[in-house]
Amino acid sequence: MPWKEVNKMSLKQEFVELTINSEKTSFTELCERFEISRTLGYKLIRRYKKEGNKGLEERSKKPKTSPYKTEKEMEERILLVRDKHLSWGGRKIHHYLRQNGCDEVPHPNTITDILRRHDRLYEWNQNEIKKPYKRFERQEANDLWQMDFKGHFPLISQRCHPLTILDDHSRYSVGLEACGDERKETVRSRLIKIFNIYGLPKQINVDNGPPWGEPSLRNYTELAVWIMRLGIEVTHSSPYHPQTNGKDERFHRTLKQELLNGQTIKTLEESQKYFDLWRYEYNTKRPHEALNYDAPIKHYKVSTKKYPACLPDIEYLRDDIVRFVHKQNACINFDGKQIYVGLAFIGQPVAIREANEDGVYNIFYCQQIIKQVDLRINKT
């Protein structure tokens, strides 16, 4: 993406940090993904290594802050951070200040006392009861992305449907898109933009609703088929168990608390501007408890698997039995039986492969099992 004036600084910082973290992705390729020249890319890296984030600023100079802080000045800084991030408590503010150049930061409990003394603690902090739970996450970045639509909200003449995509391992937000609807064409166009920057994940988990899930279509839609064609495994949350996409659901709560509550947004373009700025803060600045209070970008690397210019050919094993899904009934013929595959697969080749039990077969689309058939019973 070319640098935009509204978030030019954040894009520069994201570019250099991803370059440093993504050893297996060539520098030239990252420049192409961000649509900048290699000359500009090298200049940003040199300035960043010499001066840090200040080297990425425009050439205007900002006055340096005093290294000596009085207690009153520290309290004022704590309150400024709190006023900007209304859902942050003492621990997040403590780690945020330490990660941003403050050496003598008060203990988190002291910061909480400061917030309480200045009437900055609200109901969700005082009444929230934290229950112990065990976290599960993938071992590597891009092993799994969680994708969903957050509940839509009104604008002047339409509604905004926020599309959110979160990396399971790093909690890095690879996508926060202000969409005018939830149609497959809209999601596909946004995914292509995201794939071009961050590459392809191994798996994407979604819920069971449109546009990626539909029970009457056996949970597969045209959008899901397109994603599978790219070599990405598509999985669906268990019905009535949204916690399967729990990290993305938690991301929705954070987005609502830190950005959307009390915010008046008029247009989709304005929504995207707010989303871009908040997403950058979330990815690169906001301490995350599950990451030992690191920001997500410290744990994320772009995928080495690039988005292809053309869809790859579908290849199956030599011993597979390949059938095309009929247009009339969305079925295939096998062993004298008609087996329903699904409307989303009409016209597509699928492979029939024997499972571990005699008479039981798995039906594959690309490299993913989409159905299992037991020919020993009169049911398909």
Residues 159, 196 within the same domain: yes
Residue range 157-167, pLDDT digits in tens: 899 999 999 99
The C-alpha atoms of residue 202 and residue 272 are separated, in whole angstroms, by 27
Q: What is the mean pLDDT of residues 99-128?
A: 70
Residues 24, 112 within the same domain: no
Q: What is the mean pLDDT of residues 291-312?
A: 92
Residues 281, 332 within the same domain: no
pLDDT at 131: 45
Residues 295, 184 within the same domain: yes
Cβ pair 339, 328 in contact under 8 A = no
Residues 48, 83 within the same domain: no
The C-alpha atoms of residue 316 and residue 324 are separated, in whole angstroms, by 13
The C-alpha atoms of residue 195 and residue 305 are separated, in whole angstroms, by 9
Residue 236 has phi, psi (to 5 degrees) of -120, 145
Instruction: Note whether residue 138 is domain-resident.
Output: no
The C-alpha atoms of residue 302 and residue 126 are separated, in whole angstroms, by 38
Residues 92, 232 within the same domain: no
Residues 274, 358 within the same domain: no
**pLDDT(364) > 70:** yes
| Burial call 241-268: b when 16+ CB within 10 Å, e when fewer | eeebbbbbbebbebbbebbbeeeebeeb
**pLDDT(253) > 50:** yes
Instruction: Note whether residue 114 is domain-resident.
Output: yes
pLDDT at 188: 96
Q: What is the mean pLDDT of residues 64-81?
A: 67
Domain total for the chain? Answer: 4
Residues 156, 86 within the same domain: no
Instruction: Note whether residue 28 is domain-resident.
Output: yes
Cβ pair 297, 283 in contact under 8 A = yes
To 5 degrees, how large is the angle CA 71–CA 76–CA 80?
150
- pLDDT classification of 56: cutoffs 50, 70, 90: confident
Instruction: Note whether residue 380 is domain-resident.
Output: no
Q: What is the mean pLDDT of residues 193-201?
A: 97
Residue range 126-146, pLDDT digits in tens: 444 444 444 567 789 999 999
Three-class SS of residue 239?
A: coil
Instruction: Note whether residue 168 is domain-resident.
Output: yes
The C-alpha atoms of residue 67 and residue 321 are separated, in whole angstroms, by 72
- C-beta pairs of 354-363 under 8 Å, 24+ apart in sequence: 361/334, 363/332, 363/339
**Which CATH number characterizes residue 234's domain?**
3.30.420.10
Q: pTM score, two decimals?
A: 0.74
- Per the prediction, the chain carries an average pLDDT of 84
Residues 119, 150 within the same domain: no
- Residue 273 exposed, middle or buried by CB count within 10 Å (0-12, 13-18, 19+): middle
**pLDDT(156) > 70:** yes
> Percentage helix, strand, coil, to 5, in the chain?
40, 15, 45
- pLDDT classification of 149: cutoffs 50, 70, 90: very high
Residues 37, 182 within the same domain: no
**Domain end among 267, 299, 331:** 299
Domain of 370, in residue numbers: 321-374
Residues 167, 288 within the same domain: yes
Instruction: Express as a percent the part of the chain with pLDDT over 90.
Output: 45
Instruction: Note whether residue 379 is domain-resident.
Output: no
The C-alpha atoms of residue 168 and residue 249 are separated, in whole angstroms, by 12
Cβ pair 120, 106 in contact under 8 A = no
Q: Which residue has the higher pLDDT, 6 or 197?
A: 197
To 5 degrees, how large is the angle CA 167–CA 252–CA 291?
45
Instruction: Note whether residue 268 is domain-resident.
Output: yes
- pLDDT classification of 3: cutoffs 50, 70, 90: low
pLDDT at 68: 45
Residues 82, 220 within the same domain: no
Report the amino acid identity of residue 281: E
Instruction: Note whether residue 305 is domain-resident.
Output: no
